[in-house]
Amino acid sequence: MPARFASPLLACPVPVSPARPAPQTLVEQTLADQTLVEQSLADQTLVEQSLAEHSPPATLPEIARRLEEHYLPTLPTPRRAAEPLNGLIQTVLSQQNTGVITARQFAALRAAYPVWEAALLGGPDGIEAVLRGAGGGLARTKAGYIWQILERLDTERGALSLRDLQDLDDAQARALLESLPGVGRKTASCVLLFDLARPAMPVDTHIWRVARRLELVPGVWSAVKVEKWFDAALPRTWAQRYAFHVATFRHGRDTCKAQRPRCGECVLSDLCPSAGVVLNGQKSAATDV
């Protein structure tokens, strides 16, 4: 070793501390966690059961084709986020928020906490104050979940990152995401679809409403059950699910609105069992959610 690197400390006996196990990666932790493995298998069974319970109508491929042609004629290039944790936090913020407010809250968080370790130190109260300053609803609840997610990652992994999700398969990545505080199926699906370019199919209130009005699924099914059904019924490719998700979301938001659906302008009116009811102006379409 060159003399300039020599240190007198090297001559001192160094106390040997007990060997600590090397920290596991997120992948190793997930694969070792039998609960997560069982959860992903059980989830897959429920997905398959939902399809056995209700077959996809013959019109589904044509509905998908028309929606995509009308609302998303050009598919973007799939993108893998450098840090999926950012996408998860943005998804938490997006609940009951517009895209504009979500972006504003996320920018405010990054300005206040340039690294997530600072947000962890800021605590739920500090995060809540930042969110309130940026406007938008549910600041206390979302701040609590964001802090708990950071705290869980710090405690169980020692790093505030979800980059290693890239190394897990789809079911394992979902199981891990859904094991985090406040992360349900839809939130996990959004991260899988938008940040990891995986073939997930998030179902929000717009897609849920459109699916029921078109009678793709029974009207009594919950949004979670509808999402599981789509997961089994749609081709398992990122491109087809991304296109169907985005196009159906835009259709529900812009045309098949909750209170006043625009059936007269709808590209699906000849395929929709609810269209006649709405076109007559007697009442709104099948279900208003």
CB of 217 to ligand SF4, least distance (A): 14
Which tokens hold the place of 200?
């997930």
Q: Of 135, 142, 94, whose CA–CA distance to 119 is shortest?
A: 142
By annotation, the residues acting in catalysis are 186
Q: Which is nearer to ligand SF4, 93 or 272 (CB)?
A: 272
Q: Which is nearer to ligand SF4, 196 or 268 (CB)?
A: 268
Q: How many CB atoms lie within 10 A of CB 246?
A: 19
Q: Which is nearer to ligand SF4, 54 or 257 (CB)?
A: 257
One DSSP character per residue, 15-37 reads PPPPPPPPPPPHHHHHHH-HHHH
List of E strands, the chain: none
CB of 74 to ligand SF4, least distance (A): 23
Q: Which is nearer to ligand SF4, 142 or 213 (CB)?
A: 213
CB of 61 to ligand SF4, least distance (A): 16
Cβ atoms of 95 and 77 closer than 8 Å? no
Q: How many CB atoms lie within 10 A of CB 256?
A: 26
Which tokens hold the place of 96?
């009951």
Cβ atoms of 194 and 186 closer than 8 Å? no
CB of 269 to ligand SF4, least distance (A): 4
Chain positions contacting ligand SF4, by CB under 6 A: 210, 213-214, 255-256, 261-263, 266, 268-269, 272, 274-275, 278, 285
Report the chain's C-alpha Rg in angstroms.
Answer: 23
